[in-house]
């Protein structure tokens, strides 16, 4: 009897551990991997790059003016919108592409491909075009557009945080250009961001002196 009880408790502990790991690594709304899983997967893919001639691409996607959905119709409708949006994104991807929910209306797509491939630009166009059709939630139709930021690396020593930051910088550039577009990170973009911060600091210092 005692052995049976111990076996039952051991199985219960394993089940609880699996459930906690699932909560830690997956988004409860969409069932997609979350930000924690992104860090884990990027580490694995960077390790694979050391053995193969690949480049690693991180693609950020979010929706222009998504806040209006929540503000106008409430968070339940907004959540349903995100579930439908995640399903539409998945249809555009290959089986080897990883789709994650980063937070809010931000989704991340991660994939490896050969250095000479241009799959990132092809996929970005496909995704942007896919959201030209409205998303139906109950009896409502939401016409939206998506902005995308892309960062790629062939450097196996690249820091994960830097790659994510670069793709985030690229999506901000897409939004600054009016939304519904794709931006790819470049050194010019980096310099522009640095200069913007410098100007903000100069203005702040001038106001404090004045």
Residue 159 covered by a domain: yes
Residue 160 covered by a domain: yes
Radius of gyration for the alpha carbons in the chain, expressed in angstroms and rounded:
21
Q: How many domains does the chain have?
A: 1
Q: What is the pLDDT of residue 30?
A: 94
Residue 2 covered by a domain: no
Instruction: Write out the two tokens for 110.
Output: 């991660």
Residue 210 covered by a domain: no
- Name 75's Cβ contacts closer than 8 Å, sequence gap at least 6: none
Q: What is the pLDDT of residue 5?
A: 63
CB count in 10 Å sphere of residue 8: 10
Which stretches of the chain drop beneath a pLDDT of 70? 1-23, 50, 53, 116-117, 190-198, 200, 202-203, 205-206, 210
Residue 6 covered by a domain: no
Q: What is the pLDDT of residue 63?
A: 94
Identify the CATH number of the domain in which residue 34 sits.
3.30.70.270
In Å, how far from its chain's centre is CA 39?
11
What is the per-residue DSSP string for 54-78?
Answer: EEEEEEEEEETTTHHHHHHH-HHHH
Instruction: Write out the two tokens for 184.
Output: 């790819």
In this prediction the pTM is: 0.80
Q: What is the pLDDT of residue 85?
A: 96
Q: Give the residue numbers spanning the domain of 79.
A: 23-185
């Amino acid at each position: 009897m005692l052995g049976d009880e111990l076996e039952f408790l051991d199985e219960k502990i394993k089940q609880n551990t699996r459930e906690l790991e699932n909560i830690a690594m997956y988004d409860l709304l969409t069932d997609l991997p979350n930000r924690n899983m992104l860090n884990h997967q990027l580490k694995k893919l960077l390790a694979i790059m050391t053995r193969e001639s690949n480049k690693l691409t991180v693609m950020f996607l979010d929706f222009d003016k998504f806040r209006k959905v929540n503000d106008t119709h409430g968070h339940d409708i907004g959540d349903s919108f995100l579930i439908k949006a995640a399903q539409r994104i998945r249809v555009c991807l290959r089986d080897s592409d990883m789709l994650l929910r980063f937070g809010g209306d931000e989704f991340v797509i991660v994939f490896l491909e050969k250095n000479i491939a241009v799959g990132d630009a092809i996929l970005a166009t496909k995704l942007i075009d896919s959201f030209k059709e409205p998303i139906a939630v109950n009896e409502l139709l939401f016409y939206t557009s998506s902005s995308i930021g892309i960062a790629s690396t062939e450097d196996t020593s690249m820091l994960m945080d830097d790659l994510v930051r670069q793709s985030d910088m690229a999506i901000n550039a897409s939004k600054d250009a009016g939304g519904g577009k794709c931006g790819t990170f470049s050194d010019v973009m980096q310099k522009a961001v640095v200069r913007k911060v410098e100007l903000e600091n100069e203005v702040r210092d001038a106001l404090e002196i004045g």
